[in-house]
Amino acid sequence: MPGLRKFAFPFLAAAGIAVADQWSKAWIVAHFNPYEARAVIVDFFHLVHIRNTGVAFGLLSNLDPKWVNPLLIAATVFAIGGVIAYIHFLPRRGPAPFGLGLILGGALGNLIDRSRLGYVVDFLDVHWHHHHWPAFNVADIGITVGVVLLLLDMLYWPNDPGRSSS
């Protein structure tokens, strides 16, 4: 089953991110009231319980979730299908398969929230002096690291002879 081995590593990465994401969000929901914040490192890092009805950085959160949420769910399902299809065309070397697995796991983690709750739970909150980064979660970390790995793959493995064209 050589074809299945190609998918094992990305899907293990996806499962790891999705499970870590859902576990961490469940812990926050169990231990924090909505919109509660607790300093972990004063003036730098807080744990919070944010209910994000929008997308990354809270974009679209001011719009009616009754129509935004179904669109975001559909877009996420479409993107997940695209990532799974793209994994098929990648070689096993280079960071792209792992990066796609991280993206897939992050998308699944946030999709579970959005489908089940109607919003995404964000809980990691970083400040630096007067700069405040929007709250995020483990799924967002997986997506971000996955994109960085894809960019590195494009830079350092651009014409990899191991890439499949079919």
pLDDT over threshold 50, residue 166? no
The pLDDT of residue 83: 92
pLDDT over threshold 80, residue 90? no
pLDDT over threshold 70, residue 95? yes
Which of 113, 122, 125, 153 does the annotation list as catalytic? 122
What CA–CA distance (Å, rounded) separates 22 from 15?
Answer: 11
pLDDT tens per residue across span 59-88: 777 788 788 888 899 999 999 999 998 888
What CA–CA distance (Å, rounded) separates 40 from 78?
Answer: 37
What CA–CA distance (Å, rounded) separates 25 from 18?
Answer: 11
Which of 21, 113, 125, 140 does the annotation list as catalytic? 140
- Least-confidence region, from 11-25, 41-55, 82-96, 143-157: 82-96
pLDDT over threshold 50, residue 127? yes
pLDDT tens per residue across span 31-56: 999 999 999 999 899 999 999 988 87
SS3 138: helix
pLDDT over threshold 90, residue 21? yes
**C-alpha closest to that of 10 among 152, 107, 77:** 107
Known catalytic residue: 122? yes
The pLDDT of residue 5: 67
pLDDT over threshold 70, residue 11? yes
Residue in the structure block whose two tokens are 């994000």? 52
Residue in the structure block whose two tokens are 């079919």? 166
Cα dihedral 56, 59, 64, 68 in deg (nearest 10):
-50
- pTM of full prediction above 0.85: yes
